[in-house]
Amino acid sequence: MKAPNYTAAQVAQITTAYQAGMDIDEIAQDIGKSVRSVRSKLVREGVYVAKPKTTSKKVLGPTKKELLKDLEKSGLDVAGLEGATKEAISRLLVHFTN
């Protein structure tokens, strides 16, 4: 019979530490297990709560594609400008539409 990866005492220790706000990295180091192993055990115990994923900030204003279309309407050939930054395209747009 295979020995369990976690003793009842270890399960109690990691659960208590996690619920007290201790970081999983620290918990794993304290008991000599990998972060992945500790996280998996906490998930199986029903106590782990995943951190919300961060999303990139959405920049307000027209998209680069919209800026290129506006620039093209001003009569400028925009071929090759797809790799330009939004800021550079905006400066061209100001120059060619004023």
Question: What range defines the domain where residue 24 resides?
Answer: 8-45
Is the pLDDT reported for residue 61 higher than 90? no
Is 50 within the bounds of a domain? no
Q: What's the pLDDT score for residue 82?
A: 85
Rounded Cα distance, 50 and 27, in Å: 16
Is 31 within the bounds of a domain? yes
Q: How many domains does the chain have?
A: 2
Rounded Cα distance, 26 and 29, in Å: 5
Residue 65 in tokens: 């594609």
Is 74 within the bounds of a domain? yes
Q: Which residues fall within 8 angstroms of residue 10, CB to CB, at 6 or more apart?
A: 31
The whole-number average pLDDT for the span 7-12 is 94
3-class SS of residue 19 = helix
Is the pLDDT reported for residue 59 higher than 70? no
Residue 4 in tokens: 């369990």
Banded model confidence at residue 1, pLDDT cuts 50, 70, 90: confident
Is the pLDDT reported for residue 2 higher than 70? yes
Residue 58 in tokens: 């959405």
Residue 62 backbone dihedrals phi, psi, to 5 degrees: -70, 155
